A and B are shown apart, each in its own frame.
Chain A
């Protein structure tokens, strides 16, 4: 069962389109939410969508056909790591990006709370000072 699942989700079956396509798709969905939605919480969710799209793109940049995670805990991996493991640099960068993303989301949510406290609504079209 798990073997079948693994072959189904492996990049050889799904192909690069699914990774690149879904990262661009997530980015566009997030941009749409930020530009169209009027609820402030939904706008923050849109920011997170953009972030996930960028992170997914960076991770799929580091993938190399048929290779495994860069954790060298087996003898053959220790001997020839480059032959068996994918590029670890994008993964390290995305680890940083995720943490910064959490910080950004928390800050944005705190601003949303203050706005709700001040105006009593989350609808940006009702907060007159912000109208465009």
Chain B
């Protein structure tokens, strides 16, 4: 009880200071010059109509490579942490319902197609490699839920993921070779608002989508295998 009161007191203090900082930031005003620069130059410099995608993949491409690496490290670390708990795995008691099984049969292909659509159109619509990959992984999650015995082949997951990661670096190196900057946009900008435009943005987002999809699937599979040992 005293601990709870103490925590509430702490929350009031933290809330007061947070609120006093937040209130001093004007809402809905133009704030950054760099944002204006990106908006004005995104079509001319990158050919992509989605300014957020252009920033993530081209202006801050190196940062995104680091982000992909962080995700990879998290998946690997999770597998390493859970490696010892995997042996004590037991059978299930309850089978998933008929609705779940039949629904998954229809929804799984739709999830794969929708995920691919999201990462293929990352430079035109909201979305991109990360959400697309997560949608694909959610398709596999449905399979895991509906069919207890289904198991994605871990070797293939690793091969696909590593190939996608290497392709990302390779695209960057081709940019370095052709234009002198790592991840330089060595393909043409194309007509804005078309599917084949914006140079390397669709390529990189396809690679990221495949990588995130296989990584998340592996991650979910690792979590599932260990949570079964009740």
**Chain A residues at the B interface, C-beta cutoff of 8 Å:** 11, 16, 19-20, 23-24, 27-28, 31-32, 35-36, 57, 60-65, 69-73, 78, 81-82, 85, 87-89, 91-92, 95-96, 98-100, 102-104, 106-107, 109-111, 113-114, 117
Contacts and interface: CB of A to CB of B under 8 A. Distances in A.
Given A23-B22, A106-B78, A99 B55 contact: no
Contact of B51 (A27, A35, A81, A107): A81
Contacts, number: 155
B78 A107 contact: yes
Interface of B: 3-4, 7-8, 10-11, 14-15, 18-19, 22-23, 25, 27-32, 34-36, 38-40, 42-43, 49-52, 55-56, 60, 63-64, 67, 70-71, 73-75, 77-78, 81-82, 84-85, 88, 124-126, 128, 130, 134, 192-193, 219, 222-223, 226-227, 229
Contacts of B42: 72, 81
B52 A70 contact: yes
A65 B226 CA distance: 49
Given A87-B32, A103-B71, A28 B223 contact: no
Contacts of B78: 106-107, 110
A113 B82 CA distance: 8
Contact of A89 (B7, B35, B43): B35
A32 B7 contact: yes
Contacts of A103: 70-71, 73-75
B75 A106 contact: yes
A71 B128 CA distance: 13
12 contacts: A24-B18, A31-B14, A35-B10, A70-B39, A71-B126, A96-B63, A99-B130, A103-B70, A103-B75, A109-B223, A113-B227, A114-B82
A79 to B, nearest CB: 10
B89 to A, nearest CB: 12
